[in-house]
Structure formats: C-alpha cells, structure tokens
Chains A and B, each alone.
Chain A
Amino acid sequence: MDQFMQQMVNGISLGSIYALIALGYTMVYGIIKLINFAHGDVYMIGAYIGFAATTYAQLGFLPALLISMAACAVLGMTIERIAYKPLRGSTRIAVLITAIGVSLFLEYVMMFFVGAEVRSYPVLLSNKVFHLGNVLINTQQIYIVVTAIALMILLQFIVHKTKTGKAMRAVSIDRDAAQLMGIKVDNTISITFAIGSAFAGAAGVLVGIYYNSIDPLMGIMPGLKAFIAAVFGGIGNIPGAMIGGMAIGIMETLVSGYGYSLYRDAVVFAFLILILILKPSGLLGKNIREKV
C-alpha cells in the first residue's frame, strides 16, 4: 500500500507536467485541427530558457518560470505565423508534415547552439522531504503540482470568463459563425498558440527542476506522451487533457514503480492503441459532428 501511495505521489507530479503539455496540444487541435508536433520542442526550449535564466541570470524559480512562459508564448506565435498560417486552407496532411519539419528544425537548431550534451539545472528549490506515514513528498513535487494546478485554474478562467476565451471557444466550434460575431480568427488562433506554448514553457522549467537534466531531444518522448494524454482525454477537450495527463503520469510511474520500468513507454503506447480501438473520441471527447 505504501508503495502504491508513493507511486501515486510521484505519478501526480509527473502527470501534472504531462497535463500542462497536453493542454497545448488539445487547445491547438481544438482550434485548427492540427496535431502540432513541434509542441514538445517548445517545451524543450522552455526548459533551456529556464536554465539560462537560473544559471546565467541567477534568477529564482518564479521569475525563471515567467520568463520562460513569456518567451515560449512568443515562440509559439512565431511558429504559427511563419509555418502554419500560410498553409491555412491546405490539406491537413500538408500542415502535419510541416509541423514535423518545424519540430526537427527546433531540435537541431538548438543542438547547434547549445550542443547535444545533457545539462543540469541548478538547485532552485530547497529539496526538503516530508514524511506522510511512509510516503515521501518533496518540496519540488509540491511546487510542481501547485504550479500546474494554478495554471490550469487560470486557463479555465481565461477560457470561460474572458472575451478572449469565449472567442477561442467560438472559433473552435464554428469558425465561420465566429467571424459573423466579429471575432478575428487569425488573432484568436495566435493567442491560442501563445497560451498553449506558455504552458509548455512552464512544463519545461518544472521538468528541469524535477529531473535536473535537459537536452535538445528531451521534448520528443514527453511530447508524444502528452499527445497520448490529449487523445485519451478527448482531443480538443481541455478538462480531458488535464485528466489524461494525470492518468498517463500515474500509469507510467506505477509501471516503473513495480519494477517494469523497461516497459514503461511500451505500456503508454499500448494504451494509446487501446484507446484508439475502444473509444477513438477519448474519455470526454464527442463523436465528430458532421456539419450541415
């Protein structure tokens, strides 16, 4: 039982990070029906920006987090403007291939500038360990979960209570109808990329702190898993991405915790195949509505 609880604690920390990345996938998919394969790399760049902010500028956790989020927001908007916007109206496969191209571009440009070697984050947060019975929780885990939850609440607020959020929902439901309301679709898409990318940037910093190591290809695996999390929750669905992220994180730590860490990734991918067979629309996803 202790072992199980311990893995749950670890799983929730990891899951919060997946959830933050998954939100960006799902928001972008919701609004332009694109699986943004470069999203995992935005997260990687977020981790490096956090690294630079803490190592060279010697900033603390919060400023580093905010700088990374802001920089990633700009990066996300730039990617959209340069790579995806000119393809609006082309086939989905063309945009998808472009996304893969952007992903490789970001990975290898980073590799050129920072080198392929793994770097370690400075210790930013005191690593105090709390004992709850026999279950250990450390400060970093608390920071990660609190940050993730705060950001998710913020997102829910933006999406449901602000004009920008209402525009985002309207565009993702019906682009033409949204335009007839006076909503500028291009701006709304741009903002969606900004928010999704900012969240990926936050996840990058949190992972740097948690695992204490970053490299230019670090975005690939978590990117894929967050994508699976988004599909599991129902792609395009925001609460779905949060639940999916948590589920994948917990699943992964449970599998490793019980001594099968070799199969950790395999289990997650097997899970994706299972979802696609059993409920392709995901946990909270709707069946695709045909437009009349």
Chain B
Amino acid sequence: MLEIKNLNVHYGVIHALKDVSLTVDKGEIVTLIGANGAGKTTTLRTISGLIKATSGQVILEGKDITNLPAPQRVELGLSQVPEGRRIFPEMTVLENLELGAFLRKDKQGIKKDIEHIYELFPILGDRRKQTAGTLSGGEQQMLAIGRALMSKPRLLLLDEPSMGLAPLLVREIFEIIKNINSEGTTVLLVEQNASMALSIANRAYVLETGSIVITGTGEELMKSDRIQKAYLGG
C-alpha cells in the first residue's frame, strides 16, 4: 500500500528524518511511536505532501508520489488527520465535513457518508450547525477524523488522535480507529500513547531522533524491554 524508502528531511540545518524506511500493507494498522521531537509528524507530513523530502521516495500503491503536490495525493486515496486537529474553526461542523469531500462529485454519496459520520459520532450530528471552533477538544478530534474519512481514503494517516483527551475518550477513539480499519481502510497511526497504539496495531515502528530504531509486531514491541522502559513506563 505505502512504501517509504530512505527518506531524509531537513528543516534548514536540522536533519529531522534520517534514512527513514517503512512499509504499510493493505488492510493493516501500523503505528509509529516515539518521543516528542522524534520526527513522527514530519514523517506524516512528508507522506501527505506538505513537506518536501530532501531525498528518498514515497510510493503509494506502486506509484512514486515523492514529487506530487498534496492535493493530488488526496485524489489517490490518501487522507490525513493532522496533529492538533486543524479543523476550520469558523465553519460549521457540516461545512467541515463537506470540505473533507471536496474532490468528490457524487452528491448523493456525500450525503450518505455524512450521515454515516453522524452515526459514528452522534455528537457531531447534534452539533452539525454549530461552528467547529465551539466544539470541545474531543469533539474536534472526532470532527477531524470524520472530515478525513469524507474523502473515502484507502490510507488514513492519523497524527496523535489521543492528544489531550480523557482516558475514556481515548479508548473510544481507538475503538473507532479499529472499526474504520475493519471497514477496509488501511491506517498509519502516529502516537505517544504507546500502549494503546501497540494494542491495536498489527505492526509498529519506533522513531528516535529521526531514525527508526526498532520494528516488529505490536505484541513483540509490547514485550520488548527497551519499549517497556522507554515508552510504557514499565
């Protein structure tokens, strides 16, 4: 589905990603964990095309998209829930969802999918006419996920969906991510909440200061001493 080969990204003199390679297979949930500043967001933003890599390749379903602008990547089935939600606060919940479907032309399908998002997140249905900026943090996160789903992505990139949410809500969001995945969307999940992320992931990568240091299945990593110490507080 997605293959990243020897990706290097610089911010001026800062070498943020160093030869990062990873793959996500169709149908998987893959998680990328790591401490603050490790380069997780940078990785996702490079995949979605918001940042240009200095070298390396991003390949989506066999197609080299390294130099494709971000909007065209959405057309190819990539969708990102950005760090910090980045919903459009001055617009209503409904308008946010409609923007998620910006590239689609099937009016009926869009309508149906908006209803589907309201089923997934009933609170969004109740708030449909409200401006998104007035939603609570958790509701905004749901909206960000709902908006990303509106483009009918084949690969969904999520950047710390649990950030700032109460434990109960975190569990709910992860349940929903699992459901989205079982409905056929491949997921690449960036998280700091390592235990939650590893518990739902098929495979995981650990990023430390711009390099992948460990990789394995979710279970393997959960049992690893190094991960226990560094990320699971064990």
Contacts and interface: CB of A to CB of B under 8 A. Distances in A.
B84 A169 contact: no
Contacts of A170: 88, 91, 99
A93 B228 CA distance: 50
A182 B103 contact: yes
A181 interface: yes
A185 B70 CA distance: 10
B151 A166 contact: no
Main secondary structure of the interface of A (DSSP, over half): helix
Contact of B88 (A163, A174, A182, A185): A174
B169 interface: no
A292 B84 contact: yes
A185 B49 CA distance: 13
Contacts of B88: 169-170, 173-174, 177
A117 interface: no
Interface residues of A, number: 18
B49 A167 contact: no
B70 A179 contact: yes
Interface residues of B, number: 27
B230 interface: no
Contact of B74 (A176, A181, A185, A292): A181
Contacts of A176: 50, 82, 86
Contact of A180 (B48, B75, B91, B95): B48
Nearest to B78: A180
Contacts of B102: 163, 166-167, 181-183
A174 B148 CA distance: 15
A170, A177, A181 — which one has the most chain B CB atoms within 10 A of its CB? A181
Given A173-B88, A183-B99, 20 more contacts: A163-B102, A166-B99, A166-B102, A169-B88, A170-B91, A173-B89, A173-B91, A177-B86, A177-B88, A179-B49, A180-B50, A180-B74, A180-B79, A181-B99, A181-B100, A181-B102, A181-B151, A182-B74, A182-B75, A292-B84
9 contacts: A167-B102, A169-B91, A170-B88, A170-B99, A173-B90, A180-B70, A182-B75, A182-B102, A182-B103
